[in-house]
Structures are given as structure tokens and as C-alpha cells.
Amino acid sequence: MTQILPSHRRLLGYVLSGLLALGMLLGGMPAAFALGGPQPTLNAPAPDFTLPSNTGDGEISLADYRGQWVVAYFYPQDFTPGCTLEAKRFQQDLPKYLDRHAQILGISVDDVTSHAEFCDSEGLTFPLLADTTGAVSKAYGSWLSGVSLRHTYLIDPEGILRDRFLGVRPAIHSVEVLARLDELQADE
């Protein structure tokens, strides 16, 4: 199997993000399918996962967060401009998420060492999970050619997938997620 170099993975991430944005401008994607594969069903149990984390706690499971909301965001690669901007915005808004009883989990194909270096470099305090095989990205329809796509999923305290964001713009994404989280929590 051919290994994708980090520089090529970054370029692929840019191209895929642009293609997804273009597809959405031209009429969107069908509700259950997006660039990256079939999407998990809304208002059904979210695909469970357990992945290694940079936090020093070993592995983190989705089930560890029962009783609180989870923002599971997939991204292409540590240290790239868009991924760095998105992560910094989530970090900036982290107190607002915590006030809403929500945990942020970043997921990419980078390994735990890369995640730890990324967190140290950017001052990130929320967990980043290492989906090095892409199995979780595939389960969430967020996998394409060796990278996780920039998708975000909102999972409620019972583990039910409540919403997804497929056309993510890193500069404003955290604000969009917070607004949608407020709407969902108001419906409870």
C-alpha cells in the first residue's frame, strides 16, 4: 500500500475541502451520503469508538462521556493551517462548551505523539484521538484516501447522534457548533 506523505496529505485535505464546498454550493449532498462515505443515521446511536489519546489517560471511549454532550470533530492533520485555526477556535470557546456540559474530542489519523506536540505547540487542553487505521473515520463517513475529512458530529448525553456538519469553515465553525448545541439543548 502506498504511504501518503504529510505534504501530500495536507494538499489532499485542501482539495477535498474545496470539493466538498463546491458540491454543497451546487445543490448539496444527499442527507445520508457525503464526500467520505455513508453518514451515520441522525437520531440513532452514534458509532461507538475507543482510541488512543494524547492526554496520558491511555484510551478514550465515546462511552466515557455518557451524561454529557460530545463534539466529535474530525480533521485532516495536525499543524496544517486550517486544522490549527479550527483547533484554536475550539480551545478559545472551550469554557463555553464546558458550561453547556459538552466535551470536545478531536480525531485525525495522526498518532498520539503528533497530537501531544500539536497540543503543546497550540495550547490545546481538550483530547485529540489517534485514529491511525481510519476505522472510526470510516464509521462516521469521514474518510477519504488516507485522511480524515473535516466533519463534526454532535452526540447527546445518551449517545445519540443529533447533528453533523459536513461543510466546515474552520474560522467560524466553533461558533456554528455552539449555536446548534444551544438549539438542541433548548429542545430537551
Are the CB atoms for 152 and 37 separated by under 8 Å? no
| CA separation for the pair 90, 57 (Å, rounded) | 21
Catalytic residue among 20, 60, 83, 130: 83
Catalytic residue check, 119:
no
Burial class (CB in 10 A: 0-12, 13-18, 19+), 58: exposed
Longest CA–CA separation in the chain, Å: 48
Residue partners of 180: CB distance under 8 A and separation at least 6:
154, 163, 165
Enumerate residues 6+ apart whose C-beta is below 8 A from 135: 49
Indicate which residues carry an active-site annotation.
83
